[in-house]
Structure 1
Amino acid sequence: MDMRTRLRHLRHGPRVYAWRAEIHHLRGSRDCHRCVRVRIWGAGKTGQALQADLLSLALGPAGACETDGSSPRPADVRAVLAYALRHGWNPDRRGGTFALTEMLHGETFTLAGFVLTDRLRTPHGADPSERVAAAFDLGEQG
């Protein structure tokens, strides 16, 4: 199994969390971009899931949907998890999904090589090509 379907585990504090990453591609105004949907569970199937859609800042070939191979490492997933816990995610809450969104968390969430995107959830999210260009303009490439 590859990273798209395999459930992985990591320890943060006293708890073991399960997580997976699904690879997606988003068409922007100029290029196609890799997006990784990370989902994390801390209290089994009945607990509230955490979801973050991470837009890769790596540049792939221009004009093609052959995007980069960026994937979050366990340390990246741990950073997503820690941020979410500090910003209201309660893995013990029953049901539902706590989403880290570009709209609510994009200004304060930082992860080298990635930014949050809403485009995977809604077509009204910011253009991925513009987000990547803005990250380079601001020196956020990691």
Structure 2
Amino acid sequence: MPQDKEAKHRYEQAAAAAKGAREDEAADQELNAAYLQADSHTGQQGTLPVNSEALEAADVKEAYSLLDDFTQDELRRVRITPAGSLLTAGDAYVNLHDRRRGELRATGEENVVGEGQYFVAKHDVDFEIWDKLLYQDR
């Protein structure tokens, strides 16, 4: 009998461990889904890396007049897509020359940012800056 009791105990432990592993995996999948959903707004999603070539608005003279409602700290958080960059089809952008137009989706037709154009990609800024770019009463 002691062997049966020991085998039953091992079986119960293995079953509990397997159940815990399944629950952990489900929780991880749920967390990843929530992360991706939340980050589709903040722009920090892993599939859309922050543009390392983007310019800080604080370093662009014309940005001061285009973003006159932004503080110096906020200007450092605005990343402007540099001239000559390709706009990625499907990504969201805001044109700093026409912020009232709102969020623009690149279709692939407006391929390259021209000289004197200032676009900010949603995935290059945090959600607070994105919201201020779009929704701040001017």
User: What TM bracket, shorter-length normalisation?
Assistant: under 0.3
**Larger relative helix fraction:** 2
Q: TM-score, length-normalised on structure 2?
A: 0.25
**Larger relative strand fraction:** 1
Larger radius of gyration: 2
Q: TM-score, length-normalised on structure 1?
A: 0.24
